[in-house]
Structure 1
Amino acid sequence: MTAVPMVEIHRGPVVESWHSGHAVICDGTGQIVESWGDPGAVVLPRSSSKMIQALPLVSSGAAHDAGLGAERLALACASHEGAPLHARLVEAWLAGLGLSEHDLICGPQPSRDKDLRLSMIREHQAPGRVLNNCSGKHTGFLTLTQHLKAGPDYVDPAHPVQMACRAAFEEVTGETSPGFGIDGCSAPNFATTMTGMARAMAFYASAGARGDAQSRAAAQLVEAMIAHPMLVAGEGRACTLLMQAAKEPVAIKTGAEGYFVAILPKRGMGIAVKIVDGATRASDCVIAALLVRLGVLEAAHPDVARFLNPPVRNWDGLKTGEIRPVAGLAG
């Protein structure tokens, strides 16, 4: 099977363009509930897999030994915007480890927080590693590195941290990963099928009903994400706004190149979405549509509508069209 149209771009009465993709919804047993496109398509889930990369941090006991609370666990799963809130928390976490941002291998990045970014430009400040959207994940890697008494190159695929991440990834997806790509933050990003990723999210969604170490760790990470949506992404971001708008607890996480996942603990269900051309506007729309379809979101909620049916405007502010899911996708 191939990707199917999922999002339309309307200009007046004309469908001017569209985005195609794949989506899979799995239940707590790992079985497909619904799917669109090719459930077997092999994908790189990018930052949507951060809660899996954080799993060894918790299941190993490293998080407990380091005294990590829910805020830091949420940051370990985050693609944050580098706002002052995020930077302060990551800096404090690093300091507690006896480390600094120079120990992070994620690379420097400008803040995506408008006020901080403009302030840094005015003061001629350089981008920083703490401001990298993956700095929480990497501080989690460093925490696990210390726990394992391993070397400092924690992004090396042969490093014990990344070997633990791969083992966790293959366990929760139920598949042997065919390989990996190097992510924007220099860490390996393991590939799986669309079904594998949806199955992994369903593992997280149903984790609270099980008592093994991996499930307890997964449930702890989900609870942290749900409790701290601002730390998972930030002001104005789809992950944060949709989590806050939901009618039931849900953990939602974006990834680069048009990827998105959702974890629905009350239903024991997981969702994975991939837009094949990598467009964020389309993946935002599809995850919102599927959550509306399931009754988790209300289409009329303003913070849902801004992603489900955002207007297309011209330079004069005139609405010339809108982005919308294909007919029937939202139910």
Structure 2
Amino acid sequence: MPRSPAPFAEIWRGDIAESHHVGHAVICDATGDIVEAWGDPEAIILPRSSAKMIQAMPLVTSGAAEAAGLTSEQLALACASHEGAPIHIDRVAAWLSDRGLSEDDLRCGAQPTRDRALKIHNIKHDIPPNQLHNNCSGKHAGFLTLNQHLGGGPEYHETDHPVQRACLEIFEDLTGMTSPGYGIDGCSAPNFATSMHGMARAMARFASATEADVAGRAMIALREAMMAHPMLVAGEGRACTRLMQAATEPVAVKTGAEGYFTAILPERGFGIAVKCIDGATRGAECAIAALLVRLGAASADHPDVAAFLNPEIPNRRGVKTGEIRPAPGLLA
């Protein structure tokens, strides 16, 4: 029988709990077994951008990354949901240029930058959004690099293309189950479904990977790239970036749309998957912060952790009217 979602986060206004978020969360160890779970571990989900490090695996395991001489920064961008800030778009543009490609070769779609200064500049100078600004442009640069290596056609985002077939094969291997289906993501690439347990298992595989084989070396390279370049993975003020920077041990944290989060904890061999059922980012951010604190991988007192664990809710005059709190059963 499916299990009901568990309490994740409470929204307090004064002394009254005004609303709450619920969801599913799973922590797996290096064997793929569940260490702890909340809600339904077998709930089928779309991990959205939390799966980007898996989607980047064929880029490395195929030998395409080595052949192209990709750097750690570029591997981090392949896993990124970035802000479309200059530090992101300039690097993606240079990557494409190095491969003899351009923004026109991307299939992720144009998206306005979320970098405030660049947004103002673009509005003032009537510069329209382009595909480099898309938060997934790094992932798509990775797809294009893999596609050159495989010799596939230009529509690399299509589900039956060799690039996406390679992604599905490794997705099913790491999650330990046949994917029951897929949805088309915001960037037009397929996003394969799995269970909460399957996604946590995949993250634990990343956490416990060794240099013994090609897949292990690829997982190490990708997780290390994310941890080395947290600003490239997300950006200024973002939960992924701030939580990685604030962690008390090496941790790779990755957000996904509709309230999804994953985390890789190499020193423990643990993987975490979080899904906020109503798709609320604030609920998912609170939950992933709470689980990192629960495991001792982050301190609740660190301001960059508290910003998501217990963020204040101000009104339009800047007066604190309440706060978000993790559900008691999640934090301790």
| TM-score bracket for the superposition, by shorter chain length | over 0.9
* Equivalence for 2:321: 320
Give structure 1 stretches of 5+ with no counterpart.
Answer: none
* Equivalence for 1:306: 307
For 1:189 and 1:211, the matched residues in 2 are separated by: 29
Q: What one-letter code is carried by the residue in structure 1 that aligns with 2:300? A: A
For 2:9 and 2:147, the matched residues in 1 are separated by: 42
* Equivalence for 1:86: 88
Alignment of 1:180-329 (within 5 A): 180-207=182-209, 209-329=210-330
* Equivalence for 1:113: 115
For 1:58 and 1:241, the matched residues in 2 are separated by: 27
How far off is 1:73 after superposition? 0.2
For 2:22 and 2:329, the matched residues in 1 are separated by: 15
How far off is 1:210 after superposition? 4.7
* Equivalence for 1:7: 9
For 1:74 and 1:315, the matched residues in 2 are separated by: 37
Give secondary structure in 1 for the equivalent of 2:169. Answer: helix
For 2:157 and 2:329, the matched residues in 1 are separated by: 42
Give secondary structure in 1 for the equivalent of 2:331. Answer: coil
Alignment of 1:58-73 (within 5 A): 58-73=60-75
Q: What one-letter code is carried by the residue in structure 1 that aligns with 2:88? A: H
Residue 39, structure 1, aligned to residue 41, structure 2: yes
How far off is 1:314 after superposition? 1.2
Superposed CA deviations along residues 184-240 of structure 1, whole A, max 9, x for unmatched, are 000000000000000000000001x35111111111100100100000000000000
Distance 1:150 1:181, change over 3 A: same
Deviates more, 1:42-51 or 1:4-13: 4-13
How far off is 1:299 after superposition? 0.2
Aligned CA RMSD, in angstroms, stands at: 0.6
For 2:231 and 2:202, the matched residues in 1 are separated by: 23
Give secondary structure in 1 for the equivalent of 2:254. Answer: strand
Superposed CA deviations along residues 115-152 of structure 1, whole A, max 9, x for unmatched, are 00111011111001011000000000000000001101
Give secondary structure in 1 for the equivalent of 2:133. Answer: coil
How far off is 1:328 after superposition? 3.5
Give secondary structure in 2 for the equivalent of 1:281. Answer: helix
For 2:212 and 2:34, the matched residues in 1 are separated by: 24
How far off is 1:279 after superposition? 0.2
* Equivalence for 1:52: 54
Give secondary structure in 2 for the equivalent of 1:110. Answer: coil
Superposed CA deviations along residues 284-312 of structure 1, whole A, max 9, x for unmatched, are 10000000000000001001101000011
Give structure 2 stretches of 5+ with no counterpart.
Answer: none
* Equivalence for 1:98: 100
Q: What one-letter code is carried by the residue in structure 2 that aligns with 1:323? A: I
Give secondary structure in 2 for the equivalent of 1:328. Answer: helix
For 1:315 and 1:188, the matched residues in 2 are separated by: 40
For 2:8 and 2:215, the matched residues in 1 are separated by: 34
Superposed CA deviations along residues 101-123 of structure 1, whole A, max 9, x for unmatched, are 00000000111000001110111
Give secondary structure in 2 for the equivalent of 1:320. Answer: strand
The size of the alignment, in residue pairs, is 330
For 2:188 and 2:4, the matched residues in 1 are separated by: 30
For 2:8 and 2:88, the matched residues in 1 are separated by: 34
Moved beyond 4 Å, runs of 4+: none
For 1:242 and 1:50, the matched residues in 2 are separated by: 18
For 1:151 and 1:251, the matched residues in 2 are separated by: 33
Residue 175, structure 1, aligned to residue 177, structure 2: yes
For 1:212 and 1:42, the matched residues in 2 are separated by: 30
**TM-score of the superposition, structure 2-length normalised?**
0.99
For 1:89 and 1:21, the matched residues in 2 are separated by: 36
Superposed CA deviations along residues 45-89 of structure 1, whole A, max 9, x for unmatched, are 000000000000000000000000100000000000000010110
Give me the identity figure in percent: 66
Give secondary structure in 2 for the equivalent of 1:34. Answer: strand
**TM-score of the superposition, structure 1-length normalised?**
0.99
Give secondary structure in 2 for the equivalent of 1:316. Answer: coil
For 1:69 and 1:327, the matched residues in 2 are separated by: 42
How far off is 1:318 after superposition? 1.0
For 2:138 and 2:301, the matched residues in 1 are separated by: 33
Alignment of 1:121-136 (within 5 A): 121-136=123-138
